[in-house]
Amino acid sequence: MIEFQKKKGNLILLYTSENGSEWVYEKLNNNEHINLKRTFILKKDDLYSVSSLQDLYFDIPVEFVIAHQEGDYFKFDKKILSIDYDLYINKDIKLTYRDFTAEKNVSIFSIINELKPGDIYIGGDKENSLPVEEFKSLIKNFPNTYELRKYVIARVSAIVRNYFDTKIDGEDKYHKYMNKKVSREGDDLVEMFKNNEVTKFIKILNKLEKMLKDENSYNERQWQAEILQIVLLLHPKYIHVFREVPIRDIYNNKKRSLDFLLVDSSGNVDIVEIKRPFDKSIVTSNQYRNNYIPLRELSGAVMQVEKYIFYLNKWGEQGEDFLTEKYRDALPDGFNIKITNPGGIIIMGRENNLSYEQRQDFEVIKRKNKNIIDIITYDDLLGRLRFTIEQLRKGHITNRFT
């Protein structure tokens, strides 16, 4: 049995053996070490009192000094714990051997040693010290034999199931077990920035509503510039947008001019086409063979974006090099533009005056093209902003992954 006591500024390990302590003293007298729980490596020099060795009181605990007090902490002997870093534990923490040794006599601080940390402080008020609650949680959640066995089975299962049918999926059972365990919880970032996000989306919504009420006061170029700001705020993956981008039509050996090219944080490009809304709808007012079909402006926009996507894909690596070099000064160092199946975004039209049947047919049109192009009306944009604000206010954004 192992216990700990504080004596005269030292932390003492008291060891009691069911078979008596004679064997301990015999080893120490022969200048050998003893290894308790595969965690504490103790030598004759570590004895608390030399008299205990000389008197050979085999029926009382053997006492070893394992740490010395420095201020509010006990500093542990590195050699005893077989570690390379300085370990400090607050003097007020009540310790048991389970704070040092996990199941199957695994030394906890030796495992931490493999991470090559700097000085470690546990408890107390020192800056960057590990809180006692976190330390106890680490001990509680240290892998046990059952968990390790499940992990081994999962690794074997991952290979065997590629070649043979098995009745049990070891990986699935391991992940289900781990999902039940308490995991580390980080800061709630959504809650932390929620108020700022609500303010941001409200300002975007108010600006868009104001623009739509007074759209005639904007020329086309200014309208597009204002909408592009909103697009970048709503789609943070895009880090830049380039206007009037020259691209190559290799089939007709011509230069084409692309209105707007979006570049995301990985260097991949997408196309955005922005049309002023006006008052007209985006599908016909009358049916053609019981269907509402897209107006020419919408069909033309879709065709235009599809052609630009086609040109970009055919331009390929040569186009990547050209665009990277052309816009190098506007991009981060070492950043490369990539043409990898670009997508398109079309922002145009209103649907606030559409009938239910017109909306249904328009949804069919959008879904027909959704693998390549996202068609967004200004009313759709308003709706997305309003729902986002509502979700943030209710706190549902935090739980959307549950």
- Name the least confident of 84-98, 143-157, 240-254, 388-402: 388-402
Provide the percentage of residues in the chain whose pLDDT is more than 70: 91
The Cα–Cα gap between 280 and 278 comes to 6
| pLDDT tens digits for range 379-390 | 999 998 999 888
Q: Cα dist. 330→184, 281, 319, 340 in Å? A: 40, 38, 17, 21
| Confidence (pTM) | 0.54
pLDDT at res. 57? 52
| pLDDT tens digits for range 22-70 | 888 888 889 999 999 999 999 999 998 754 554 555 567 889 999 999 9
| pLDDT tens digits for range 124-181 | 998 889 999 988 888 887 777 777 777 777 777 777 777 667 777 887 887 787 777 6
Q: Tally the C-alpha atoms within 13 A of residue 391's C-alpha that lie toward its C-beta.
A: 13
The Cα–Cα gap between 152 and 285 comes to 65
pLDDT at res. 58? 57
How many residues can be counted in the chain?
Answer: 402
The Cα–Cα gap between 226 and 211 comes to 9
Write out the DSSP string of 371-398.
Answer: TTEEEE-HHHHHHHHHHHHHHHHHTTTT
Provide the percentage of residues in the chain whose pLDDT is more than 90: 45
